[in-house]
Amino acid sequence: MKAVTVAASGAAPRVSEQPEPKVGPDSVLVRVRTAGVNPVDWKVAAGRLDPILYVYLPLIPGWDVAGVVEKVGPAVTEFAPGDEVIAYARTDTAQHGTYAELVPAPVRSVARKPASLTWGQAGGLPLAGLTALQSLQAAEVTKGDTVLVNNAAGGVGTFAVQIAVAEGARVIGTASEAKADFLRSLGAEHVAYGEGLVQRVRALAPEGVDASLDFYGGEATTASLEVTKSPSRVVSIADPAIREKGGIYVFARPDHAGLTKLGDLADAGKLTVHVERELPLAEVAEAWRLSQEGHATGKIVLRVSS
């Protein structure tokens, strides 16, 4: 099969021929249509997650996938060959990722593909969507809450805004002025990030916000703690040290039920996936360059097959 491989830690990603992966008892083999690109993909390839992951070379990167079930393991009863699925196919080791024509995915990480989404949109949903959903759950966001979403126009932020709005929350989202209209179209009140952020948020919520989601780090973490009524409802995916300040750190977990909820929201018209760029697998280096720049609105997706 064709796959993107990284031969050594920090090496450039290249398309090569690789053996087809085995299918474990509790896994399905997915023929990949699209694979979402996430910052964690190139971070794993650069060795930045070596303290928590066993990484085997050559590495096929990627954890997001949308495709069609090719085979199922002997213990799997939930899916059958031919099913259209999405998955956040992360395991505790990194080797057989989703930037390939075929990928094994643990059944716990798999859900039905939302019928309303294109293949490109579906490939961009799992990791970022689950990160947003689990962050909102960790912050215990409910109807009537006012929520600050930092980096609200990014891959995770766009999902967090839409899910929070669907739950009946008021959302204040940070982004550049150029993305203000886009954020408003998702249902958020826009504030510009940068110096004076705390004052701008307090102008909209004088008593402070009920919860904050930090999808950026740095000054966003500091501002979130300052404008949120209790640090216990400040969630960060960027800074594990938030725990020392009374907040919550989230590293998204594969979750069939969560993916199913995201799919239901999409099919109900309450959640869409904004795809900034959809590139062929051979242009993986360009996809990573765009991801590393950090200016994409929504998701970057690799097209593996049609």
137-154 pLDDT, tens digit each: 999 999 999 999 999 999
∠ Cα 197 199 201 (to 5°): 70
Omega before 240 within 30 of 0, i.e. cis: no
Strand locations in 53-129 (E): 54-60, 64-72, 84-88, 93-96, 102-106, 110-112
**Three-state secondary structure call for residue 53:** coil
∠ Cα 122 157 12 (to 5°): 65
DSSP class of 179:
G
Q: How confident is the model at residue 215, as a pLDDT?
A: 96
* Segment 47-93, tens digit of pLDDT: 999 999 999 999 999 999 999 999 999 999 999 999 999 999 999 99
Q: How confident is the model at residue 170, as a pLDDT?
A: 98
Q: Does pLDDT of 234 surpass 90? A: yes
- Does this model's pTM top 0.85? My answer is yes
Q: Which domains does the chain have, with CATH numbers?
A: 2-125+273-303 (3.90.180.10), 129-249 (3.40.50.720)
Give the residue from 14, 126, 1 showing the smallest Cα distance to 61.
Answer: 14
**Own/partner pairs for 95-98, CB < 8 Å, 24+ apart?**
95/55, 95/56, 95/59, 95/60, 96/21, 96/60, 97/41, 97/59, 97/60, 97/61, 97/62, 97/63, 98/32, 98/35, 98/36, 98/60, 98/61, 98/62, 98/63, 98/64, 98/65
Give the residue from 192, 181, 187, 185 showing the smallest Cα distance to 164.
Answer: 187
Q: How confident is the model at residue 198, as a pLDDT?
A: 96
Q: pLDDT-based confidence at 287, cuts 50/70/90?
A: very high
